[in-house]
C-alpha cells in the first residue's frame, strides 16, 4: 500500500514536508474541485480557488517548491482538476526539474481536455490518466461513451497512459469492482492484455518511482 497527500486546501510546502517523512508516501495530488483552473474551465472564472499559476502563466513559487521536493524525494504528482492554461506551464516545469506527473481525469466532463492538448502534455513527459469514470456509467454520470476512452488510449499510446478507478464514492460502485468492470471492458474493446498490464502496473510504478 502506498499513500500521499492532497492539496485541496492550498499549496503548502510545509504540509508536504511533513508528509514526505512518512514511509510509503509516494504521491502528491494537486487540488481537484477547489482548483481555480477547475472553476475557470467550468465557466466560472470569478470563483475563488487554489491557483497553481500566476495571471501571466508562471508557476507559483510555492508550487515550484513542492515540485522540487517531489523530484528530490522521488514522489509522483497528480496534476488535479485544472485547465490546459495551467497544465501547460506545469508540464514544462515538470520536465525541466525531473518531476514525474500524471493528468487526473482529462476526459471528465468537468475539466475535459482536447486530444491535441493531451498529446502536447504527453510529449512533455506527463502520463495521461484513463479511469473507470467516465467510461463506466453510474448514477452520477448515467451516459458514457466507452469508445472515447479507447480512442484516447490508442491515440496517446498505452506507454503513456495510466489506469485508475477513482470509484468508491456513494453514487459509484466500489473501487475494486469498478476496476474489474473497467478491465473487462478494455479487453472487450480490443485493448491487448499486455497493454492493460503496462497501464495498470508498469506505468503507475514508474510514476511513483517504484521502477
Arithmetic mean of pLDDT, 32-47: 85
**CA pair distance 165, 176, nearest whole angstrom:** 8
For residue 100, give Cα distances in angstroms to 114, 150, 167.
21, 24, 23
| Number of CB atoms found within 10 A of residue 174's CB | 11
**What's the pLDDT at 202?**
98
pLDDT at 2: 94
* Helix (H) / strand (E) containing 72: helix 61-73
The candidate with the shortest Cα–Cα distance to 134, out of 160, 172, 97, 170, is 172
Residue 109 or 77, more confident: 77
**Can you tell me the mean pLDDT for 89-107?**
96
- Structure confidence at residue 203 (pLDDT): 98
* pLDDT number for residue 71: 97
List Cβ neighbours of 30 (8 Å cut-off, separation of 6 or more): 7, 11, 52, 63, 77, 78, 79, 80, 82, 104
The pLDDT of residue 173 = 84
**pTM of the complete model:** 0.94
The pLDDT score that the predictor gives to residue 139 is 79
Amino acid at each position: 500500500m502506498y499513500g500521499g497527500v492532497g492539496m485541496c486546501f492550498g499549496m503548502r510546502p510545509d504540509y508536504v514536508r511533513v508528509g514526505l517523512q512518512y514511509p510509503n508516501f509516494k504521491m502528491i495530488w494537486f487540488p481537484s474541485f477547489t482548483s481555480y483552473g477547475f472553476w475557470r474551465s467550468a465557466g466560472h472564472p470569478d470563483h475563488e480557488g487554489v491557483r497553481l499559476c500566476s495571471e501571466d502563466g508562471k508557476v507559483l513559487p510555492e508550487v515550484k517548491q513542492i515540485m522540487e521536493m517531489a523530484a528530490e524525494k522521488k514522489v509522483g504528482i497528480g496534476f488535479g482538476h485544472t485547465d490546459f492554461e495551467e497544465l501547460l506551464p506545469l508540464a514544462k516545469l515538470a520536465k525541466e526539474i525531473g518531476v514525474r506527473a500524471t493528468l487526473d481525469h482529462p476526459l471528465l466532463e468537468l475539466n475535459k481536455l482536447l486530444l491535441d492538448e493531451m498529446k502536447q502534455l504527453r510529449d512533455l513527459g506527463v502520463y495521461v490518466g484513463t479511469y473507470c469514470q467516465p467510461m463506466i456509467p453510474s448514477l452520477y454520470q448515467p451516459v458514457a461513451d466507452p469508445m472515447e476512452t479507447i480512442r484516447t488510449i490508442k491515440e496517446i499510446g498505452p506507454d503513456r497512459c495510466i489506469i485508475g478507478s477513482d470509484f468508491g464514492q456513494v453514487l459509484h460502485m466500489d473501487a475494486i469492482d469498478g476496476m474489474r468492470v473497467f478491465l473487462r471492458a478494455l479487453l472487450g474493446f480490443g485493448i491487448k492484455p499486455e497493454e492493460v498490464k503496462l497501464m495498470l502496473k508498469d506505468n503507475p510504478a514508474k510514476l511513483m518511482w517504484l521502477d
